[in-house]
Amino acid sequence: MPAAADRAAPVTVITVDGPAASGKGTVARRLADHLGFAHLDTGKLYRAIGLAVLRAGGDPADPDSAVPAVQTADLSTLSDQDLLSDEAAQAASRVAAIPAVREGLLQLQRDFAADPPGGLPGVVLDGRDTGTVICPDATLKFFVTASVEVRAERRHRELLARGEQSIYMVALAEMNERDRRDSTRAVAPLRPAEDAILIDTSGLDTEAVFAAVLRHVAAALG
């Protein structure tokens, strides 16, 4: 793999921030495939840490349990299907509020953005602080959002489709609580970067969202 310093041209970095179930992951993966860029779902790193803590019998909100788990962070484990569970999502939100966990994962994410695997020319990172903290100098930034009611309904349907139990009102309450935690945490709170392009997916299907994103990419990158 070529070192970042040996590249003939700088890596194109696109970030896709936004709250849970906004659709940011779907559009980020599709955009990376379309452009031939590497993709990193940074939220899955936190899910992996949170799930590791739960599997060890610890509390994801406890730094003494969560921080040691950062040492086991491995990008090759992010395809674990258990990371898609609501249990992993809730645990991720808790470990993500711990400053030492975020600091421990920061360089891993920045290294990926600076030197994508396979020497690819660009990278798409999605997560709640990719445009504000991880890559504040990204080439292009998006903030993908939707109303909390729409996002709760999406999460509710996703859980049912995977055969998990779900009640919409419970999903809505959990989504509101997760938004509160993510937006009020002391380190890297959920918020759009000042130069991010806002995409509200509340009334849009996936094709319309992707078309809107592509228009902005074409305008920015040519």
Q: Mean pLDDT throughout 82-101?
A: 90
Assigned domain for 189 exists: yes
Which CATH number does the domain housing residue 20 bear? 3.40.50.300
Residue at 5 is within a domain = no
Residue 2 resides in a domain: no
Instruction: Please give the pLDDT value at position 189.
Output: 87
Whether residue 105 has pLDDT greater than 50: yes
Phi-psi map region of 119: left, alpha, beta (phi>0 left; psi -120 to 50 alpha): left
Q: How far is CA 47 from CA 31, 84, 101, 196, 216, in A?
A: 22, 8, 12, 25, 30
* pLDDT for residue 93 is more than 90: no
pTM greater than 0.85 (yes/no): yes
Q: How confident is the model at residue 20 (pLDDT cuts 50, 70, 90)?
A: confident
CA 159 to chain centroid, in Å, comes to 18
- pLDDT value, residue 6: 56
Higher pLDDT, 211 or 185: 211
Let me know: does 40 contact 109? Beta carbons within 8 Å.
yes
Q: Is the pLDDT of residue 134 over 90?
A: yes
- Number of domains composing the chain: 1
Average pLDDT value for the chain? 91
- The CA–CA distances, whole Å, from 115 to 91, 118, 169, 189 equal 29, 9, 43, 26
**Do the domain assignments include residue 149?**
yes
Domain ranges, residue 213:
12-221
pLDDT tens for each residue of 32-84: 999 999 999 999 999 999 999 999 999 999 999 999 999 888 888 898 989 98
Mean pLDDT of 4-14: 73
